Amino acid sequence: MTTYNSANEMIWSDWRKLGFHYDWKDDPSRLVFSGSLTGLKRFVVHLDDYVSNPDNDMISEHDHYGPYWLKVMTWSCPLEIDDKNIRGTIPELTALRDELAANLKELSVGDSFTLDRHFREGITTPLIFQAKAADFDPASLDMYMITNS
C-alpha cells in the first residue's frame, strides 16, 4: 500500500521547482546532481544569481536549494564540498559556475561528467552531473518517493 502525505508532496514539489535532484553518496564521498539538461542548467542560473549578488560577498552568506537545503556559501577558502555545502570564495564559485556551464554545453542525455581535483586542486569531494531525459522528474530519486512507491 502506498501512503503519501502533504509533507511528501511538498518535498516532491520542491524537487520539481528546483529542476534537478542532488544526493550525497558515501564511500567514496561525492555529491551527485541528476536532471534533464534544462534542469541542470538551472543550477548554473542559481550559481550565477548567487555570485552576481553583492550581498553574498561577505563570509558565511549563503543560499539554500531544494527540499534538503543544499547550501552554496561564501567562504574564505578554496572550493570545499561536503554533504550539505558547496562553499568557497566568490571567484571560486564563479569558476564553478563557468566550468559547469561549459561542460553542460557538451553533455547529451545519458552522459555524465565530474568536477574534481582536475578542475580545482584540493577538491576532495567530486561533483558529478548526470544528464537525464527531458521528461525526468527530479522527485523520482527522492528516498521518500522511492520507498513509498
**Is position 40 within any domain?**
yes
Specify the CATH number for the domain of residue 97. Answer: 3.30.1360
Domain that holds residue 118: 6-147
Give 96-142 pLDDT, tens digit per residue: 999 999 999 999 999 999 998 878 887 889 999 999 999 999 999 99
Joined together, the cell numbers standing for residue 143 give 528516498
- The whole-angstrom separation of Cα 59 and Cα 4 is 40
Where helices occur in the chain by DSSP H, the ranges are: 6-18, 37-52, 90-106, 143-147
**Is position 1 within any domain?**
no
Q: In total, how many domains does the chain have?
A: 1
pTM: 0.90
